[in-house]
Amino acid sequence: MPTVIVIDVSLSMTRPVFIPETGETYNRQHLAVCGINVLLDYLAIHSKLEFVSLIAFSSLYEIVSPFTRDFDALKLKLQQLEEYDKTCIETALHGVNRLVLGEWGSTTPCQVVLVTDGSPGVGPMSLKYSLNTLNQRDASSPFPLPFSFPGKLSIICIASMDEPGLQLGLPLYHRLVELAGSDSAVLVPEGPLSMKSIQTMFQKLSEANFASFQGMLKCGNLGSQIILSPSPQPFCKSNDFESVKRSISDSIEVCGFIDVADVGSPMAISRHLVLPHPTGKVEGISAGVKVEVDSEDESVVDEGRIPSFCVLLHGALKVENMAALCLLAEDWFGFVYSWADSKKKSNLMLTILEPGSNVVPWLGDLNRLGSLDDFHSMNQEIEIEPSFPVRPLEKRSYSQNCVVWIRQAGLQSDIQKILRHARKLPEKTQQFYKELNRVRRAAISFGFIELLDGLAAIFERECTLLPGGAHPDCALQLTHAAGVLHKPYSRDVKQNITPLRTKFINND
């Protein structure tokens, strides 16, 4: 998932730190840059496809780098950071919200890594002041947490536990991560402040939050080590009486294959690129011969000569225009398919569905899917070729042209449509009465009986406002419709208002 690195460049970050082991002195900003480089190096190895952005803040914030995959460029910009004035963390978090919403929207999960020296700031711009005024804010000046997107906040403090500034700010930072939610955390170096302790802390952060998903994709006797990018997150959902928490298994098994047209576009939790593991072992069975290649020695092994099940599966799905139904965990499914972002390049993708076996309504229970031959063997009397989606016998309410009046404009639009047909009588006689009966039935169903009297009054008024060149049948039909709407039987939803027989229309 995209990551935003927010680094404090206030004057307090320039405070020196003496390292007794080496006898050298560094400032805290230099230690922070070295730690961020550890994180970027980890991403360059394990998550090359992740986007990272860099924001520097003091009393204001600056987007040093928009989202990019060029980690070397980010390292160079880190070396060029300058010092500014005092710390204001609320301003930095507002900047994160604006950056992510402008680039990814409000539905893409992002990680935010805030690096500071542990000082919460002073005065009206301090973190303590921001948290104390939470209940005094209005819609014009909201607090930036929780984020406007699904986000996880990790606060890195470049300070040792015995420093007075950190002891003062640590409770405030814990309050901040509570507001952020989503397993957010505050990290502090273990032991004395040094280059090694900072690098160790960032390494632990990288392994905990940015580790790539590595597993096995299996199909019968074939299999391949894979990496999913971005790494899938555990599924958490709170229902009325229970909380569902699930994690994807390390072994993803292909259950069968189905046409892409039959899969359609089901509701999904997330989508991921399926990449072969560069250092994994690939095993396959072909003509009774087992091939095993260990690609640890990259100087000897040519990747183009290594048999890969991912390449085989991708090519087959692309040519046949099919998708592979996969079992991700117990009673949890997904689809693997070929997806093209351009005319020349395509990728193997995994779409993760919600846990359960009835998550694709038109396919039914996924545990009961079988081959077409098995279906014919059990149903010999069926002559019609079955296809998806299977249409239900009963007509669903959402497949009908229902009337919805949520706002006043919707009701006004329906009435204006009736009047447009009325002014074009007798050519639009059938359309006029069809729309009139549709609105009348909806009004009766909703208990909006006053609308019938209102329509009658509108028709009577329209008769008096008709121009001199209007067709005579226009006034006759409007008067007839208004009169019927006043009668008691017009309140019966089973009754329809029929056109008045005149010499201007054909009633055969």
- Of the candidates 114, 149, 7, 2, the residue with the CA atom closest to the CA atom of residue 69: 2
What pLDDT sits at residue 327?
95
Contact 145, 190 (CB under 8 A): no
Asked if the model's pLDDT at residue 451 lies above 50, the reply is yes
Average model confidence (pLDDT) for the chain? 85
How many domains does one find in the chain?
A: 3
Give the 3-state secondary structure of residue 169. helix
Residues 324, 137: Cα–Cα separation, whole Å: 51
Asked if the model's pLDDT at residue 367 lies above 70, the reply is yes
Residue 83 lies in a domain: yes
Of the two residues 284 and 128, the one the predictor is more confident about is: 128
Asked if the model's pLDDT at residue 8 lies above 70, the reply is yes
Residue 296 lies in a domain: no
Distance of CA 256 to the CA centre of its chain: 27
Query: Residue range 14-33: average pLDDT?
Result: 88
Residues 315 and 439 reside in one and the same domain: no
Residues 52 and 20 reside in one and the same domain: yes
**pLDDT class for 113, splitting at 50, 70, 90?**
very high
pLDDT per position as a tens digit, 297-339: 444 445 667 788 999 999 999 999 999 999 999 999 999 999 9
What pLDDT sits at residue 281?
45
**pLDDT class for 400, splitting at 50, 70, 90?**
low
- Of the candidates 1, 244, 253, the residue with the CA atom closest to the CA atom of residue 103: 1
pLDDT per position as a tens digit, 211-235: 888 899 999 999 999 999 888 888 8
State which residues form the domain around 95.
2-133+140-210
Of 41-50, 284-293, 314-323, 459-468, the one with minimum mean pLDDT is: 284-293
- The proportion of the chain whose per-residue pLDDT surpasses 70, expressed as a percent, equals 88
Residues 157 and 40 reside in one and the same domain: yes
Residues 274, 336: Cα–Cα separation, whole Å: 8
Task: Single out the residue in 378, 398, 419 at which a domain terminates.
Answer: 378
Query: Residue range 473-481: average pLDDT?
Result: 88
Residues 365, 359: Cα–Cα separation, whole Å: 8
What pLDDT sits at residue 284?
44
Contact 266, 260 (CB under 8 A): no
Residues 36 and 169 reside in one and the same domain: yes
User: Which position has the token pair 């840059």?
Assistant: 33
Of the two residues 398 and 167, the one the predictor is more confident about is: 167
What pLDDT sits at residue 405?
81
Residue 299 lies in a domain: no
Residue 317 lies in a domain: yes
What pLDDT sits at residue 170?
94
Residues 103, 4: Cα–Cα separation, whole Å: 12
Residue 288 lies in a domain: no
**pLDDT class for 109, splitting at 50, 70, 90?**
confident
Residues 106 and 178 reside in one and the same domain: yes
Residues 36 and 170 reside in one and the same domain: yes
Residues 63 and 160 reside in one and the same domain: yes
**Residue type, position 434, single letter:** K
Cis geometry, peptide bond prior to residue 171 (ω within 30 degrees of 0): no
Residues 451 and 365 reside in one and the same domain: no
User: Which position has the token pair 């099940």?
Assistant: 309
Distance of CA 187 to the CA centre of its chain: 28
Residues with Cβ within 8 Å of 489's Cβ and at least 6 positions away in sequence, in order, are 495
Contact 116, 158 (CB under 8 A): yes
CATH number of the structural domain spanning residue 150: 3.40.50.410
What pLDDT sits at residue 428?
86
pTM for the whole structure: 0.66
Asked if the model's pLDDT at residue 440 lies above 70, the reply is yes
Query: Residue range 106-122: average pLDDT?
Result: 91
Residues 99 and 201 reside in one and the same domain: yes
Buried b (16+ CB within 10 A) or exposed e, 247-269: ebeeebbbeebbeeeebeeeeeb
Q: Let me know if 395 is exposed, middle or buried by CB neighbors in 10 A (0-12, 13-18, 19+).
A: exposed
What pLDDT sits at residue 58?
95
Residues 276, 307: Cα–Cα separation, whole Å: 11
The token pair that represents 236 in the structure block = 């958490």
Contact 93, 144 (CB under 8 A): yes
Residues 311 and 251 reside in one and the same domain: yes
Residue 162 lies in a domain: yes
pLDDT per position as a tens digit, 267-298: 898 899 998 887 544 444 333 334 444 444 44
What pLDDT sits at residue 381?
52
Of the two residues 392 and 267, the one the predictor is more confident about is: 267
Residues 252 and 173 reside in one and the same domain: no
Other Cβ atoms closer than 10 A to 173? 24
Residue 502 lies in a domain: no
Three-class SS of 413-451: HHHHHHHHHHCCCCCCHHHHHHHHHHHHHHHHHHCCCHH
What pLDDT sits at residue 12?
92
Contact 486, 456 (CB under 8 A): yes
Residues 128, 102: Cα–Cα separation, whole Å: 29
**pLDDT class for 131, splitting at 50, 70, 90?**
very high
Asked if the model's pLDDT at residue 134 lies above 80, the reply is yes
- Of the candidates 287, 334, 300, 338, the residue with the CA atom closest to the CA atom of residue 316: 338
Of the two residues 334 and 412, the one the predictor is more confident about is: 334
DSSP category for residue 22 = T
Q: What is the DSSP string of 90-126?
A: HHHHHHHHHHHHHHT-SSS-EEEEEEE-S----GGGS
Q: Which helix (H) or strand (E) holds 156?
A: strand 151-157
- Of the candidates 200, 163, 185, the residue with the CA atom closest to the CA atom of residue 113: 185
Residues 48 and 153 reside in one and the same domain: yes
Residue 263 lies in a domain: yes
